[in-house]
């Protein structure tokens, strides 16, 4: 197990480095530079700024300096558009996105998995069809439709819920629901498929032959394997949810991380861009690792370190 995790972490480092390389050269390939504005900035000022941010050095040197600074000083550079260290920006906005993402994840799991199970058990009944139709709608309707709908229908009518803003404990509810809905719909479909697959297996017949009640057959024999596809999906989905969503954050005015992905690219803020990209890459790698470990716990056949006969 230890070996497996260590191996995966080393592999993750390689992935992060590849991600950095691609982001770095893509950022450099963009036309213009961070200090290109419509304002009349003198060449001397620009020179000064370039020197300040280390952008006057040759490309290969820049390519090496950034990661070495991360390793030695945990310094992710300074945002050229905000004038603050990238580390501080992430440290400030990530907790907001994390709360939002955890809320979204709870909605996704709490709604998606039960719906999937009910659909699987009631396969091909009207219950199944209507639930799956709703799930399909959930996948198709974008957040910028759901978000405003919730603002108009719920936030405006329910006391205690605000249309937008971040500060009160309940403020996370509507954006989290909006963010989690698509995942809930995917989870419902994946869980339905997974449980159906398991329920068609021979060992389910064995369980019935033992005299187990239908509920127990599903909960004890059906669910464990039936959740495997959902677990595999949840790893990267969770990483995406906690790293923020530009659309949801904009609609509900949440100061999360999602805005930085877009703003950094627009303002050609390459340090912020590389910082958030690397952070997102790190989250994806960790969440995938966790979902693989969970898969191993659920399915003994893929467990590491035990030789299958």
Chain residues in the site for other proteins (CB under 8 A): 3, 6-7, 10, 201-203, 205-213, 216, 220-221, 224-225, 298-301, 305-309
In the complex, what is the shortest distance from the CB of residue 307 to other proteins, in angstroms, rounded to a whole number? 7
Q: Which is nearer to other proteins, 120 or 179 (CB)?
A: 120
Q: What is the nearest approach in angstroms of other proteins to the Cβ of residue 118?
A: 19
Q: Is 26 or 196 the residue whose CB approaches other proteins more closely?
A: 196
With respect to other proteins, which residue has the nearer C-beta, 51 or 208? 208
User: Which residue, 39 or 301, has its beta carbon nearer to other proteins?
Assistant: 301
- Cβ 119 vs Cβ 131: under 8 Å: yes
CB-hemisphere CA count at 13 Å for 279?
A: 26
We find the least distance from the C-beta atom of residue 70 to other proteins, in angstroms, to be 24
In terms of C-beta density within 10 A (0-12 exposed, 13-18 middle, 19 or more buried), how is residue 181 classed?
Answer: buried
Nearer to other proteins, 74 or 306 (CB): 306
Give the shortest CB-109-to-other proteins separation in angstroms: 20
Closest approach, Cβ 214 to other proteins, in A, equals: 8
User: How far separated are the first and last CA of the chain, in Å rounded?
Assistant: 19
**What CA–CA distances, in Å, run from 35 to 43, 46, 54, 55, 265?**
10, 7, 13, 11, 13
Least distance CB 235 / other proteins (angstroms): 19
CA neighbor of 163 nearest in space, from 252, 88, 39, 249: 252
- Return the closest-CA partner of residue 69 out of 261, 274, 259, 264: 274
* Cα–Cα distance measured from residue 173 to residue 114, given in angstroms and rounded to the nearest whole number: 20
- 9 versus 52: smaller Cβ distance to other proteins: 9
**Nearest-angstrom CA–CA distance, 170 and 155:** 11
Please provide the size of the chain in residues.
Answer: 309
Interior angle at CA 109, CA 234 and CA 119, nearest 5 = 105
Find the shortest distance in angstroms from Cβ 273 to other proteins: 32
Q: Which is nearer to other proteins, 7 or 160 (CB)?
A: 7
């Amino acid at each position: 197990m230890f070996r497996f995790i260590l191996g995966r972490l080393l592999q993750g480092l390689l992935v992060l480095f590849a991600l950095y390389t691609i982001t770095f050269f893509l950022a450099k390939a963009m036309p213009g530079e961070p200090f290109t504005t419509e304002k009349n900035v003198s060449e001397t000022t620009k020179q000064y700024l370039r020197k300040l941010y280390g952008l006057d050095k040759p490309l290969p040197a820049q390519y090496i300096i950034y990661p070495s600074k991360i390793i030695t000083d945990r310094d992710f550079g300074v945002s050229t558009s905000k004038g603050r260290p990238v580390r501080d920006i992430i440290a400030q906005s990530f907790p907001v996105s994390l709360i939002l993402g955890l809320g979204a994840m709870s909605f996704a799991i709490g709604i998606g998995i039960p719906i999937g199970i009910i659909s699987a058990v009631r396969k091909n009944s009207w219950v199944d069809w209507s639930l799956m139709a709703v799930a399909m709608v959930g996948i198709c309707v974008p957040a910028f439709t759901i978000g405003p709908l919730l603002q108009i229908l719920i936030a405006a009518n329910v006391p205690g819920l605000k249309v937008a803003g971040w500060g009160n404990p309940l403020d996370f509810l509507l954006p989290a629901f909006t963010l989690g809905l698509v995942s809930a719909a995917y989870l419902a479909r994946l869980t339905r498929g997974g449980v159906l697959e398991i329920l068609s297996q021979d060992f389910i017949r064995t369980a019935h032959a033992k005299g187990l009640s239908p509920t127990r057959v599903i909960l004890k024999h059906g669910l464990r394997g039936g959740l495997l596809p959902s677990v595999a999906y949840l790893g990267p989905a969770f990483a995406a949810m906690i790293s923020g969503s530009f659309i949801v954050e904009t609609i509900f005015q949440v100061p999360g991380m999602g805005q930085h992905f877009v703003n950094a690219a627009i303002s050609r803020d390459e340090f912020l861009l590389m910082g958030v990209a690397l952070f997102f890459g790190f989250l994806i790698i960790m969440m995938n690792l966790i979902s693989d470990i969970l898969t191993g716990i659920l399915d003994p056949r893929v467990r590491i370190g035990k030789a299958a006969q």
